[in-house]
Amino acid sequence: MIHPRPADPLESLKAVRLLAIPEKGGKTSYEIDQQNPEQTITCARSLFPQAGYSPCWYVKPRINQPIPMTIIRVSIDRLEGID
């Protein structure tokens, strides 16, 4: 479906899932998601959200932005007391 019909109110967009992983020293590395490398997003061709879908004019500029990841550190000493 390269050219969607004008009467179709929804559009499907495909993009690569890029993860932004923080590293030591304030640096960030970028990697493609290994579990789900491609995502499909459905958007509405309208000015406002329709049927639970965001408008395409809002989704298209943001579809290729990397997904920020957060590293949570858990102390093993705290986990020993949990059964």
Chain segment 18-76, per-residue pLDDT in tens: 999 998 888 999 999 999 899 999 999 999 998 899 999 999 999 989 989 887 777 76
In a domain, 15, yes or no: yes
Burial of 38 from C-beta contacts in 10 A (0-12 / 13-18 / 19+): exposed
**Of 1-10, 48-57, 74-83, where does the model show the most confidence?**
48-57
Rounded Cα–Cα distance for residues 7 and 37 (Å): 31
Which structural domain range is residue 51 located in? 10-71
- Helix, strand or coil for residue 82? coil
Residue 1 pLDDT class (50, 70, 90 cuts):
very low
- DSSP letter at 79 equals H
In a domain, 76, yes or no: no
User: In sequence order, what are the residues at sequence separation of 6 or more whose Cβ sits closer than 8 angstroms to the Cβ of residue 64?
Assistant: 15, 16, 18
In a domain, 3, yes or no: no
In a domain, 17, yes or no: yes
For the full predicted model, state whether its pTM sits above 0.75: no
Rounded Cα–Cα distance for residues 6 and 48 (Å): 17
Q: Residue 19: what residue type? A: L
Number of domains making up the chain: 1
